[in-house]
Amino acid sequence: MSSNTDLVAYVQESEFDTLLSEEKVVVVDFTATWCGPCRLVSPLMDRLAEEYKGHVKVIKVDIDNNKPIFKKFGLRSIPAVLIFKDSELATTIIGVSPYEQFSSAIEKLL
């Protein structure tokens, strides 16, 4: 198995809409290097990517490099995890949450 770091790729705004249209369920972790709580969410995203491999695409967006996309969804704080189904925003989870909150949100969409 490869290292966990490449399970969840960083995505730029230009790739974002394409990904949403290509994948059935997409989990987007809005994050930043300076955000302490985001570091607590990161291993959970790796676990989601591993557990739902082939069913769900998990990606990260660095808000410092992609401010418009962050604003587009009316986000004001991070960590923020948005879950999309068929290009539509289905669930928003703000702040540090237990793994089960993310996984149960995904289960509902599969």
User: Considering 11, 20, 26, 38, which one is annotated as catalytic?
Assistant: 38
Q: pTM of the predicted model, to two decimals?
A: 0.92
35 is catalytic: yes
Q: What is the pLDDT of residues 9-52, one digit of tens each?
A: 999 999 999 999 999 999 999 999 999 999 999 999 999 999 99
Instruction: Tell me the CATH number at 99.
Output: 3.40.30.10
Six token digits for residue 65: 């490099």
Question: Could you give the number of structural domains in the chain?
Answer: 1
State pLDDT tens for residues 42-70.
Answer: 999 999 999 999 999 999 999 999 999 99
My answer on whether omega of the bond before 79 falls inside 30° of 0, hence cis, is yes
Our answer to whether residue 48 is catalytic in this structure is: no
**Domain interval for residue 35:** 4-109
The structure tokens 């591993």 sit at 50
Dist CA 104 CA 110 (whole Å): 10
Active-site position among 35, 48, 49, 81: 35
3-class SS of residue 82: strand
